[in-house]
Amino acid sequence: MSLHSDSRGATALALATLASLAACGGGEGESSAETAAAPTAYMTHRPWGVLPAGREWGRVSGVYIDPNGRDVWVFERCGGDNCITSGDPTVLHFSGGGSLLASFGADMFVRPHGMYVDREGNVWVTDGRPAREAELQANPDAARKGNQVVKFSPTGEVLLVIGTPGRTGEPPAALDEPNDVIVAPNGEILVAEGHSGQAAPGRISRFSADGAYLGSFGEFGEGPGQFRVPHAMAFDSQGRLFVADRGNSRIQIFDSSYQFVAEWRQFGRPNDVFIDASDVMYVLDSESGDERNPGVKRGVYIGSARDGTVTNFIQPHQSTREGEAELGTMGEGVAVDALGNIFVGEVSISGMTMFMPM
């Protein structure tokens, strides 16, 4: 595991970024430069996590912390961007030090995507799409995978499946590109659907604890309560739902009845959002830039879920892709352990990165 420090210039960059955010305004939740007096610097560990000999990291968009506050769960794409032809287990359980403790979920998924771990340690994951026609022609068995939510016990026993694997449609019979899953404070299961950003769906579907369909809210669009790629979800201490509405470059907030409360744009174009027990919010942005969200930087935004204040910013890795050296790149999944270590699942450069507070 390599280790290097991003501390040099990180404080100055955070101050400049926060000042820029404050200058841009943003209505409710507007950030303040005064809050940036002493942003925390982070040391970067990359690559993080040791895989078995012979196995390479693929793209990672699902990351979550175990209820013990230390261990890290990862949903990995079998050394590439899908698992159609792979027999590798996709759900990986690591110690906080990066040692692999257990793995399961082999030969079950097309494209691992979202991940959530509940208070009992059960592991929830979403399979983000079915196999495409060309993939099915080459691998007909892939028809039994995709477009599903699976709940595992902490040891890998399948406890619940939502959606019909391999089928695209409307709940309760089927799901359509499930991005993320989370369990609400009232026990309901929420599934965010719609990944393309070009057309419907853009909804969040509700299920009872035993998987019975309760209804959906939201639709494809740009207005309040509408979504273009509801990519991830999190709850704060008040029971409010925060949705990373990536296609609209905003976070939307809903009350406990799923009624729209507010939208925040000062946290970039969000891939994932993680809120800790103190309502510190971590938002991961790998897409902002001239093409998709002009004038906004990619990176990890850190702030308050209570009032929307941005208090810190971690700059992205420098990209090696042509034309992206200045913008850099960052991942799609983020989770934070009890010590404040930030774990990022990478997609553009694959694998896992850990940011440790200094």
> pLDDT tens digit string along 128-141?
999 999 999 999 99
Mean per-residue pLDDT for 12-29?
A: 48
Going by pLDDT thresholds of 50, 70 and 90, the confidence category of residue 29 is very low
Going by pLDDT thresholds of 50, 70 and 90, the confidence category of residue 45 is very high
Q: Ranked by mean pLDDT, which of 1-15, 33-47, 281-295 comes out on top?
A: 281-295
The answer, yes or no, to whether residue 9 has pLDDT greater than 60, is no
Going by pLDDT thresholds of 50, 70 and 90, the confidence category of residue 12 is very low
Residue pair 32/309 in contact by the 8 Å Cβ criterion = yes
Mean per-residue pLDDT for 79-88?
A: 96
> Residue 18: its pLDDT value, please?
62
Going by pLDDT thresholds of 50, 70 and 90, the confidence category of residue 158 is very high
Q: CA triplet 146, 109, 235: central angle to 5 degrees? A: 80
At residue 263, the 3 state secondary structure works out as strand
> Residue 183: its pLDDT value, please?
98
Going by pLDDT thresholds of 50, 70 and 90, the confidence category of residue 323 is low
Residue-wise pLDDT for 198-254, tens only, equals 899 999 999 999 999 999 999 999 999 999 999 999 999 999 999 999 999 999 999
Distance CA 313, CA 16 (A): 10
Q: Give the position of tokens 């409360």.
A: 261
What per-residue string of b and e applies to 292-310 under the rule 16 or more CB within 10 Å gives b? ebeebbbbbbbbbbbebbb
> Residue 38: its pLDDT value, please?
74
Continuous segment of H or E residues that includes residue 44 = strand 42-45
The answer, yes or no, to whether residue 20 has pLDDT greater than 90, is no
Domains assigned to the chain: 3-357 (2.120.10.30)
